[in-house]
Amino acid sequence: MTFMKAALFFILFTIIAPAADRPNILWLSAEDIGAHFGCYGDPHAITPNLDQLAKEGVRYTHAFTAAGVCAPCRSGIITGMYQTSIGTMHMRCNAEMPDTIKPFPIYLRKAGYYGTNNSKKDYQFKDPKETWDVSGGKGHWKNRKDATQPFFSVFNFTGCHESGIASKSKYESVTKGLSPSERQDPDQLDTLPPYYPATAIVKEDWKRNYELITAMDAWVGEHIAQLKEDGLYEDTIIVYWSDHGVGLPRAKRWLYDSGTRVPLIVRIPEKWRVEGQGKPNTVDDQLISSLDFGITALNLAGLPAPPITQGRAFLGKNLTPPRNYVFGARDRMDERYDIIRSVRDKKYRYIRNYEPLKPYYQFMNTPESGATMKELRRIAKEGNMPPAMKLFMADHKPVEEFYDLEADPHEVNNLAKDPAHNERLDRFRKVHGQWIRDTRDLGLIPEPEIELREKAAGSRFGILAKGHDPTLPARLGTIAAQASDGIRALPDLLEGLKDKDAAVRYWAATGVGNIGVPAKEKSATAIQDTLKNDSSTVVRIAAARALLRMSTNEADALTGLSKALESPEQWSRLHAAIALDEADEQARSAIPALKKALKKQPNKYIVRVANKALNDLLGTANKVK
């Protein structure tokens, strides 16, 4: 952003309408739910308050989050930027933001709004003090000193979180106020997705999801009642949304509709409606990304979008063109990496799996503790799986997935190899590649390298900003795709091992490893040299993995991975632990190094992966705790 643009942007705040002439805005958000509401056509839902809100407002049918998990999504909502552009795509990371990217409530407050957040943030970066007047359990519009001051207040319902399904005590606590008529019979819920087995355990979790939503609906009603009691209902725009899909396997953390399609309901009082918008009891099918929520709040308040944004306003005056596509990304989920990208329009979804050799359900501590995941593991072991469940219990994924959402709403019929869709698939493939380049996808840079480069760049966003090797985003997008293209890509992968940038070399080494034994004859020497001489720890780890998968120089590979477990770079240690865990029996000689890695280990994710690897190698009788 140039100085002139910045100056013009802030001058606008001096010429906009007085604060008293602007609407209040109330956000009501929930965690970990899909649109299991009556107003969205669910026959079993008990959601009278949200159904009434939809009657008085607009129900959006094509709203999507930019990730299938909370923190990356929330970082995008608060900034209007893709998590992959600002470096907040990995769970529980802590990114540095440049001065040009600010939480949007700052702009509302500068324009005279009273801003409160009650109380979840989870932005994955330290938000400036001026973001909120109050953020915490006491945040409420009622606490503003001047009753005429407009407010932007956010309330977050955490009871629907996956822990509310997994933990019986939390579920009972959240739903204790429900009447018998608001309870569900698990055997009558015929909406269970086909990729779940219809066992009593799974149906109980599905039932809990519905009842938690009913408890949340009552919470929505309480806030609406408070607005009415305060005489503010007709002066307040209400926006209801969820941060991602259901807190169960193959939904939360995933980029399918089950993980990213969310309910969105907006009620605009008549006095604040722009012509053609906000008409009661209407349905809007435009494509909306969660990045658009904050930008729309600014626009409804009559404020300009920030100088840097990837979101758009879908309500208010002076709207920008509607979206043709929405995009999503999956990166590190707690202790496991799985780089996946998604493009969706109103009918089709395209998914690119950049690490297809990883199973759909990698072992992750949090979801594995849930009853449904345990049931999936049990039934898979017995071998009596429903067809759709069997698809997602596979030990690897297709490189590409393509779904017709109208014909296949559960996304179980992959059309990527159907010749009838070749032209359409190619269009989505190109749109995806362009998005990767245009948004400068930081998720394609291995996390250890991101942490090393962040300080030099001043922020994670600055790593791939203009002036920092402008050709790198295109080279990264190309080599990352080639890494899963098989033996035909081998010449390009070997050339990539010579690239000046470690991120490119990482994907080149990863791609050779993905090919495995067929790459051995032409690649072993180059990979061995990379293991010995590359300046990047994570590239050497990728080279060691490649040697193991080619079944050559295994002793050198294990020595390299064992050494990497002692790296001062925490995310390199995680990469090394993952490589050893995936190596199974090949990693037996690394048992002492894995045990040593657990001692005084500050990163809990490394502990989880090392423990998993050791327990698999040592057997049940000798499990490490």
Instruction: For 432-486, give the secondary structure using H, E and C.
Output: HHHHHHHCCCHHHCCHHHHHHHHHHHCCCHHHHCCCCCCCHHHHHHHHHHHCCCH
Position 438: which residue type? D
Rounded CA separation 605/603 (Å): 5
Buried b (16+ CB within 10 A) or exposed e, 348-382: bbbbbbbbbebebbbbbbbbbebbbbebbeebbee
What's the rounded Cα separation, in Å, for the pair 376 and 393?
8
Name residue 261's beta-bridge partners: 64
Q: Give me the long-range contacts of 218-224 (CB less than 8 A, separation at least 24).
A: 218/49, 218/177, 219/157, 219/159, 220/28, 220/49, 220/50, 220/53, 220/157, 221/48, 221/49, 223/26, 223/28, 223/155, 224/49, 224/53
Helices (H), 484-569: 490-496, 502-515, 520-533, 537-550, 554-564
Return the active site residues.
Answer: 70
Alpha-carbon distance of 296 to 278, in angstroms, equals 13
For the record, the structure tokens of 100 come out as: 């040009």
Q: Which two tokens stand for residue 150?
A: 């407009």
Helix 604-618 / helix 570-583 crossing angle, nearest 10 deg: 20
Phi, psi for 61 (deg, rounded to 5): -100, -10
Give the DSSP letter of residue 95. Answer: B
User: Strands (DSSP E) along 326-395, which ranges?
Assistant: 326-330, 340-344, 348-353
Q: Cα separations (Å) of 104 from 63, 127, 215, 271, 299?
A: 20, 11, 30, 24, 11
Cis ω for the linkage preceding 459 (within 30 of 0) = no
Longest dimension (CA), the chain: 77
CB 570 within 8 A of CB 335: no
Place of tokens 């005279």: 112
b/e sequence 507-541, b meaning 16+ C-beta within 10 Å: bbbbbbbbbbeebbeebbebbbebbeebebbbbbb
Tokens encoding 116: 């409160």
361 contacts: CB under 8 Å, gap ≥ 6: 249, 367, 373, 376, 392, 393
As given in the structure block, the two tokens for residue 50 are 């949200």
User: At what angle are helices 70-79 and 292-300 packed, to 10 degrees?
Assistant: 30
What is the Cα–Cα distance from 618 to 615, expressed in whole angstroms?
A: 5
List for the chain the helix, strand, coil content (%; round to 5). 50, 10, 40
**Cβ atoms within 10 Å of 77's Cβ, excluding its own:** 28
